[in-house]
Amino acid sequence: MKYDKSLLNPYIQGKDIDRNNFSDVIITPNHMFSICQRFMGAGMSQNFGAIMILEHYNSIHDFQYVIEIGSEKGCLSTYLANLAGMTERFFFETYEISKQSHWYNREIEGAGHWFEKLEKISPFISSHEADIFSDDVLSHVEENMHDNNLKTLIFCDGGNKIKELEVYAPLLKPEDRIMVHDWNIEISEASINHIMKDNNLVYDEPMSHSCGNLGTTMMVFRKS
Ligand SMILES: C[S@@+](CC[C@H](N)C(=O)[O-])C[C@H]1O[C@@H](n2cnc3c(N)ncnc32)[C@H](O)[C@@H]1O
């Protein structure tokens, strides 16, 4: 049987990720640390260390509910969705304020078309076009973290990480964790001192150091 060639995606992969085009360089471990990778052939605004961190962090804590704030192109979302679907040990949901710009955009490696299939087949996976600060989203998250008492990891990677931490940190139970991306780029200790103090947040060691060592620009917190 001949495959239908017309089904092939016409877009050239990686037009906007050329700074990570490794075709003419000898790859070293340092390349693993560079941000804005292609993962599973689609776009992910993380380095490869982020996958390793999340894989281990999840296996250590056995979270029951994982929330990604900011889906963008969706390949980190697709990784976490597959982790949820394969293990069937946590519910994963990702939030994006506008799915049209990146999520469904094949030309810039959006992975939404594939995520859509995953969420149809697994009750553990869902994506939402919604504002993370809306009352609907907040009450849904609160219902699952508190009424449902799910052990939770929140990953703040939307448009305003400081506000995301400020709004979501108060929901944390002692066993929950909250992680931010772009540490010391868009958000730093100086900018969130008051949030840490008001919510009794501390860095979650040793993972917070591991995040730095792998160049992820992630930082992770727990209640003290
Ligand atoms: C840095 S990108 C996310 C990258 C993604 N987590 C990854 O690792 O590939 C941030 C995304 O957050 C979305 N965003 C910004 N404000 C938001 C809000 N209030 N609610 C939901 N999503 C938001 C933006 O549209 C953008 O796509």
Ligand 1 proximity of 81 Cβ (cutoff 6 Å): no
- Whether 166 is in the pocket of ligand 1, judged by its Cβ within 6 Å, is no
Question: What integer pLDDT is reported at residue 30 of this predicted model?
Answer: 83
pLDDT in tens, the chain (224 residues): 999 999 998 876 655 555 556 667 788 888 888 777 778 888 889 999 999 999 999 999 999 999 999 999 999 999 999 999 999 999 999 999 999 999 999 888 899 999 999 999 999 999 999 999 999 999 999 999 999 999 999 999 999 999 999 999 999 999 999 999 999 999 999 999 999 999 999 999 999 999 999 999 999 999 99
44 lines ligand 1 (CB under 6 A): yes
Residue 95 contacts residue 76 (beta carbons within 8 Å): no
The radius of gyration of the chain's CA atoms, rounded to the nearest angstrom, is 18
pLDDT at res. 39: 87
Q: Which residues have CB under 8 Å from 65's CB, separation 6+?
A: 90, 91, 144, 145, 148, 150, 151, 152, 153
Q: What does pTM read for this prediction?
A: 0.95
* pLDDT for position 27: 82
Q: What pLDDT shows up at residue 21?
A: 60
DSSP designation for 63: -
Amino acid, res. 181: H
Distance 13 CA to ligand 1 centre (A): 22
Residue type present at position 112: G
Nearest one of 45, 49, 41, 53 to 13, comparing CA atoms: 41
**CA separation, residue 104 to residues 100, 187, 192, 215 (Å):** 6, 28, 33, 28
- Residue 45, ligand 1, Cβ within 6 A: yes
Domains, the chain: 39-223 (3.40.50.150)
Of all helices (H) and strands (E), which one includes residue 181? strand 177-181
Is 177 exposed, middle or buried, given 0-12, 13-18 or 19+ CB atoms closer than 10 A? buried
Q: What is the 3-state secondary structure (H, E, C) of 104-170?
A: CCHHHCCCHHHHHHHHHHCCCEEEEECCCCCHHHHHHHHHHHHHCCCCEEEEECCCCHHHHHHHHHH
pLDDT of res. 31: 80
Test site for ligand 1: of 105, 157, 216, most ligand atoms within 8 A of the Cβ: 157
Q: Is 125 in the pocket of ligand 1 (CB under 6 A)?
A: no
Distance 127 CA to ligand 1 centre (A): 12
Residue 10: its pLDDT value, please? 82
**Among the listed residues 171, 165, 164, 158, the one whose alpha carbon sits nearest the alpha carbon of residue 203:** 165
